[in-house]
Amino acid sequence: MRAGGFVHEAFLYRNETEFLNATSAFIKQGVAEGAPTLVVVDAGKIQLLRSALGADAEAVEFADMATVGQNPARIIPAWREFVDRNQRAGRPLRGIGEPIWPGRDPSELVECRHHEALLNVAFADTPSFWLLCPYDADALDPTVVHDAHGTHPFVGTTNDRGTSPGYGGTDPHQLFQEPLSTPPAHASTLPFTVLAPVRRFVASEAEISGLDRQAITDVVLAVSELTTNSLRYGGGTGTVTLWRDRDTFVCQVEDQGHILDPLAGRRRPVCTQFDGRGLWIANQLCRLLQIRTSADGTTIRLHFHVAGDVVAA
């Protein structure tokens, strides 16, 4: 299967034993090759793998996907940091990442699918990097498993591994034109041409929606970064729309700009970089960020968790 380039493979498993057998064998083979390996799965699976690997676990990096990937847009930067830190000429690299698990809400699943597709763009020129993405084929909705065939050039099961007939390449710009749901009737809206009213509006609505002081600070900072981008690059004006949906406070920023870089917000800015920080900062502060952009304009939607009692939309 490997030809020296980036191998992005979905592994479809049906129970814990299949997961453990396949992933531990994949890791052990990498350890034997001297391949640096990063495993990003949930805490329970990390514990299972450490036990199954024995002494080989000492040669592997582990990270909890619930921390790394609650917002799927943070996962590619984690893989990029791992690759940049370990890449040497001719040196193989291995990774296991499971960003999709039962219980992800529909919006998160869409962004996870986008993340899986964008991996093919982010690491297209990365040599000797094999990334295995497990999917629980029994527990996940069949449409989610079907989508894995379209976002991974390779698909495997315990009995068969090979190229995916459902993979037709990745068009990142098409991903960012998928429609978002319409904001609810109770949403609050503010057109803007300057920042100060936006900050007051967001802070007030966030407090009304039940966010604590630190969360309000985070929301105001994230929305300020996005509205600053609107004023600089999005036509000098825009609209902010806010609402609470059960345990989520949603902030939407719309303007007339067009984001051309499919990895915008997924590249860690360097200290001397002036532009490109706004989306990065917003991604670090929210639990989910959705970008929809075309020549007609851009909509960015941020989701923040509201602690406390759940209320109906």
Residues 18 and 130 occupy one common structural domain: yes
* pLDDT at residue 310 in the model: 47
Instruction: Give the CATH number of the domain where residue 118 resides.
Output: 3.40.50.300
Host domain of residue 233: 188-305
* pLDDT at residue 244 in the model: 97
Choose the final residue of a domain: 170, 198, 221. Answer: 170
Residues 24 and 133 occupy one common structural domain: yes
Residues 203 and 87 occupy one common structural domain: no
Which of 70, 291, 4, 35 is closest to 174 using CA atoms? 291
Residues 15 and 162 occupy one common structural domain: yes
Choose the final residue of a domain: 106, 135, 170. Answer: 170
* pLDDT at residue 16 in the model: 96
- Is the alpha carbon torsion for 82, 265, 66, 217 positive or negative? positive
* pLDDT at residue 172 in the model: 83
Residue 41 resides in a domain? yes
**Phi first, then psi: what are they for 45, rounded to 5°?**
-70, -35
Beta-bridge partners for 9: 132, 154
Residue 313 resides in a domain? no
Amino acid at 275: D
> Which of left, alpha, beta for 236 (phi over 0: left; psi -120 to 50: alpha)?
left
Residues 165 and 34 occupy one common structural domain: yes
Cβ-based neighbours of 203, under 8 Å, separated by 6 or more = 216, 219, 220
Which parts of the chain register pLDDT below 70?
1-3, 272-274, 309-313
* pLDDT at residue 311 in the model: 46
Q: What confidence tens digit (pLDDT) does each residue in 265-304 have?
A: 999 988 766 677 899 999 999 999 999 999 999 999 999 9
**Phi first, then psi: what are they for 259, rounded to 5°?**
-85, 120
Tell me, letter by letter, the H, E, C secondary structure of the chain: CCCCCEEEEEEEECCHHHHHHHHHHHHHHHHHHCCCEEEEECHHHHHHHHHHHHHHHHHEEEEEHHHHCCCHHHHHHHHHHHHHHHCCCCCCEEEEECCCCCCCCHHHHHHHHHHHHHHHHHCCCCCCEEEEEEEECCCCCHHHHHHHHHHCCEEECCCCEEECCCCCCCCHHHHCCCCCCCCCCCCEEEEECCCHHHHHHHHHHHHHCCCCHHHHHHHHHHHHHHHHHHHHHCCCCEEEEEEEECCEEEEEEEECCCCCCCCCCCCCCCCCCCCCCHHHHHHHHCCEEEEEEECCEEEEEEEEECCCCCCCC
* pLDDT at residue 173 in the model: 84
Residues 152 and 40 occupy one common structural domain: yes
Instruction: Report the number of distinct structural domains present in the chain.
Output: 2
Q: What confidence tens digit (pLDDT) does each residue in 155-188 have?
A: 999 989 999 999 998 898 889 999 999 999 999 9
Residues 134 and 268 occupy one common structural domain: no
* pLDDT at residue 309 in the model: 55
* pLDDT at residue 313 in the model: 42
Which of 231, 208, 233, 203 is closest to 218 using CA atoms? 203
Which of 135, 120, 115, 130 is closest to 10 using CA atoms? 135
CA distance linking residue 176 with residue 105, whole number of Å: 19
Residues 283 and 141 occupy one common structural domain: no
* pLDDT at residue 56 in the model: 97
Choose the final residue of a domain: 139, 170, 201. Answer: 170
Residues 51 and 163 occupy one common structural domain: yes
Residue 181 resides in a domain? no
